[in-house]
């Protein structure tokens, strides 16, 4: 029996968003389920997106003086236990290696869930004087967390990420680094991925295990739920003390350095899908799209069409555009659907009449708008059109965020807004864990962050009536 690939329908996103998401990751050939719960194959198309993300971030990290390193994939249990809060946060969800070859290990080791302990152990060996500081390291790798509920990109038992780890002579310098890297993430989300963000600080309940402060960029998905785009942590000297990391300062005194870490993961690809996707499939922001423009020749049997299409491909490629000309024997209609499913930002149609008229038709994946574009000078026009698609995507996502973020001043209002409309709510908060828990129990939302852009919506915490300390953005999170 012959097996042939078909472009297939996907679930309506507004009818069943979760099923729509699953359909997209499979039909756009991003993911294959590996047969092991929570582990996924990143297929070439997904990995190419990740490579584009990596390249952009890596270049930025290096411009800011960071260096890449590689730490071991395994952490001995005794090492993981050195920092009390950290081990409490991670021990329940790690995978344990107990045997090497035929023999049982004297001490079991976990596959890294994150690498703070490994970086600290390393630094305790090599840090000597103030001359060695700052140490600004980054690692690209995968980590394991034994999650109960799993979904491609959003919550895997394995996921890929980068984890930056830095060591500084002073607290001020480390705090500055924490903010700087948060800004790198915010800028990356907005200007590379066309995803607007809310920058802010996590509450103590939501901060990273072992951190003094965690900062976040929060994004809103199509279904108005929140996704954390990237986080940046300030550790103070807590880890340095736990691991005995010291340096001789200029004044010849031994001191503890201050530390940060920050990370962004393949989860952000889930964010891209859920921010920009539609009922025709994936929609990719042009700056990370593996194929930025696809050329589809119309009436390929007509003389000259394939040749002209390939000339156009060569011209755009030479201009640095990631372009593909599809001359396979599928119909134009099949190809339209295929590249819509794959989220290619710009479709360029080229038929005999276009060639005669010295033009082509460019279609934005963001809006479906068709534009007649002269072939003369098209290599300068396509980058502009890609910028336009980026802006269209950003504006649409920003409108979604603004339209679905509502200020509330009472618990009744909070409950009503969340149950009837969903989205984010902005509300004042006294700073107590108890009120944060009540928001979860009674309203069904968690604190996303205390935005840097604070507003004074009132003087008291609507949960308990005590004086308010900060405005918090609340929502349901992935």
Residue ranges with strand state E in 351-420: 359-364, 370-374, 405-407
Site membership for its own copies, residue 473 (CB under 8 A): no
Site membership for its own copies, residue 65 (CB under 8 A): no
Site membership for its own copies, residue 63 (CB under 8 A): no
Q: Determine contact, residues 295/265, Cβ cutoff 8 Å.
A: no
CB of 79 to its own copies, least distance (A): 7
Distance CA 353, CA 372 (A): 12
Among 36, 149, 303, 420, binds its own copies (CB under 8 A): 36
Footprint (CB under 8 A) of its own copies, residues 313-352: 328
Among 8, 9, 41, 205, binds its own copies (CB under 8 A): 41
* Beta carbon nearer to its own copies, 127 or 198: 127
Phi, psi of 260 (to 5 degrees): -135, 160
Segment contacting its own copies by CB under 8 A, of 126-134, 186-194, 371-379, 384-392: 126-134
Q: b/e per residue, 59-69, with b = 16+ CB within 10 A?
A: ebbeeeebeee
Distance CA 364, CA 347 (A): 7
* Beta carbon nearer to its own copies, 79 or 366: 79
> What mask, x for binding its own copies by CB under 8 A, covers residues 429 to 468?
----------------------------------------
Segment contacting its own copies by CB under 8 A, of 103-111, 167-175, 281-289, 291-299: 103-111
CB of 36 to its own copies, least distance (A): 6
DSSP character at residue 470: E
Q: Concatenated DSSP letters for 221-289?
A: -TTS-EEEEEEEEEEETHHHHHHT--EE-TTS-EE--EEEEEEEETHHHHHHHHHH-BTTB----TTT-
Site membership for its own copies, residue 1 (CB under 8 A): yes
Footprint (CB under 8 A) of its own copies, residues 137-166: 137, 141-142, 144, 146, 157-158, 160
Residue 289's nearest CA partner among 453, 46, 38 is: 46
Number of residues engaging its own copies in binding (CB under 8 A): 66
Residue 476's nearest CA partner among 442, 440, 429 is: 440
Distance CA 263, CA 436 (A): 25
Among 25, 53, 87, 118, binds its own copies (CB under 8 A): 118
Site membership for its own copies, residue 99 (CB under 8 A): yes
Site membership for its own copies, residue 27 (CB under 8 A): no
Footprint (CB under 8 A) of its own copies, residues 241-280: 247-248, 252, 254
* Beta carbon nearer to its own copies, 117 or 400: 117
DSSP character at residue 103: E
Q: Determine contact, residues 405/449, Cβ cutoff 8 Å.
A: no
Distance CA 56, CA 193 (A): 11
Q: Determine contact, residues 74/110, Cβ cutoff 8 Å.
A: yes
Segment contacting its own copies by CB under 8 A, of 71-79, 372-380, 382-390, 407-415: 71-79
Among 63, 92, 358, 456, binds its own copies (CB under 8 A): 92
Site membership for its own copies, residue 3 (CB under 8 A): yes
* Beta carbon nearer to its own copies, 124 or 191: 124
Distance CA 268, CA 278 (A): 17
Burial class (CB in 10 A: 0-12, 13-18, 19+), 356: exposed
Segment contacting its own copies by CB under 8 A, of 114-122, 293-301, 346-354, 426-434: 114-122
Segment contacting its own copies by CB under 8 A, of 102-110, 234-242, 378-386, 424-432: 102-110
Q: Angle of helix 305-318 relative to helix 378-403, nearest 10 degrees?
A: 70
Among 25, 28, 87, 109, binds its own copies (CB under 8 A): 109
Positions that interact with its own copies (CB under 8 A): 1-5, 32-36, 39-44, 47-48, 50-51, 67-74, 76, 79, 92-102, 108-109, 111, 118, 121-122, 125-126, 128-129, 131-132, 137, 141-142, 144, 146, 157-158, 160, 247-248, 252, 254, 328
């Amino acid at each position: 029996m012959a097996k042939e690939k078909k472009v297939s329908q996907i679930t309506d996103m507004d009818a069943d968003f979760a099923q729509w998401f699953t359909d997209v990751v499979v039909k756009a050939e991003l993911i294959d389920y590996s047969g092991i719960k929570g582990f996924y194959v990143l297929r070439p198309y997904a990995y190419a997106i990740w490579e584009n993300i990596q390249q952009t971030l890596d270049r930025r990290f290096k411009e800011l003086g960071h260096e890449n390193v590689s730490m071991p994939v395994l952490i001995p249990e005794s090492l993981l236990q050195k920092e009390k809060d950290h081990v409490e946060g991670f021990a329940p969800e790690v995978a344990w290696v107990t045997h090497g070859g035929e023999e049982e290990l004297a001490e079991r080791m976990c596959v890294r869930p994150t690498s703070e302990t490994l970086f600290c152990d390393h630094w305790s060996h090599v840090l000597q004087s103030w001359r060695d500081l700052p140490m600004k390291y980054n690692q690209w790798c995968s980590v394991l967390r034994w999650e109960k509920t799993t979904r491609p990109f959003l919550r895997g038992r394995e996921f890929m990420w980068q984890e930056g780890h830095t060591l500084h002579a002073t607290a001020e310098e480390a705090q500055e680094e924490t903010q700087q890297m948060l800004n790198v993430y915010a800028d990356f989300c907005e200007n590379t991925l066309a995803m607007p963000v809310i920058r802010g600080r996590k509450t103590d309940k939501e901060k990273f295990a072992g951190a003094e402060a965690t900062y976040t960029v929060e994004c809103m998905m199509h279904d108005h739920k929140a996704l954390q785009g990237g986080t940046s942590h300030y550790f103070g000297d807590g880890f340095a003390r736990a691991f005995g990391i010291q340096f001789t300062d200029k004044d010849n005194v031994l001191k503890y350095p201050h530390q940060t870490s920050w990370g962004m993961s393949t989860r952000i690809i889930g964010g891209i899908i859920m921010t920009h996707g539609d009922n025709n499939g994936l929609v990719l922001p042009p700056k990370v799209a593996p194929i930025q423009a696809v050329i589809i020749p119309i009436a390929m049997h007509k003389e000259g069409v394939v040749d002209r299409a390939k000339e156009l491909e060569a011209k755009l490629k030479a201009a640095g555009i990631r372009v593909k000309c599809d001359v396979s024997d599928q119909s134009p209609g099949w190809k339209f659907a295929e590249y819509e499913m794959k989220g290619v930002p710009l479709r360029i149609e080229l038929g005999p009449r276009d060639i005669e008229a010295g033009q082509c038709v460019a279609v934005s994946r963001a809006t479906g708008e068709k534009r007649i574009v002269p072939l003369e000078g098209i290599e300068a026009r396509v980058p502009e059109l890609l910028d336009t698609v980026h802006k269209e995507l950003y504006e649409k996502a920003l409108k979604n965020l603004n339209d679905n973020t509502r200020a509330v001043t009472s618990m009744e209002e909070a409950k009503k807004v969340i149950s009837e409309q969903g989205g984010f709510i902005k509300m004042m908060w006294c700073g107590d864990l108890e009120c944060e828990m009540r928001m979860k129990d009674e309203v069904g939302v968690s604190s996303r962050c205390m935005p840097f852009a604070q507003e004074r919506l009132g003087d008291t915490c609507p949960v308990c009536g005590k004086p308010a300390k900060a405005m918090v953005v609340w929502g349901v999170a992935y």
